[in-house]
Amino acid sequence: MYSNCPCRCPLGEPDPQTTNRLRHKILGTPTREEIKCMNSNYTEFKFPQIKAHPWHKLEALAHLLFDDLRDPNVSLPNGRTLHSLFNFTAQELAGAPDKLRQRLIPEHSRT
């Protein structure tokens, strides 16, 4: 989730410190395993230990922080369209209430 995290804001140039604080408040500090998946060469694990908000990861993605990515007209600064961000697997959506699915997956991306 972190390596492809929309908090990297492909649509603009946010303040990196603010972005990281928001990401950590929503998702918590990444585990060593998650860090290794993002960058296997990274060996220093000096991050503040922040507990994730007690919600399901899909609920975090439904946060208004990611609303711009649900806009059907969103594009990268170079004009290219974003890759599909909403093609969740059945396993990822298992147990998610309908209200969450509707918030998470914009109408233009539903099949």
Residue 36: the pLDDT is 82
Residue 5: the pLDDT is 45
Residue 75: the pLDDT is 87
Residue 99: the pLDDT is 93
Residue 103: the pLDDT is 92
Q: What is the pTM of this model?
A: 0.51
Mind listing the pLDDT tens digit of every residue in the chain (111 residues)? 444 444 444 445 445 555 566 666 667 778 888 888 888 888 777 777 777 766 677 888 888 888 988 998 988 889 888 888 888 888 888 888 999 999 999 998 887
Measured CA to CA, the distance from residue 53 to residue 46 in angstroms comes to 20
Residue 101: the pLDDT is 92
Residue 39: the pLDDT is 82
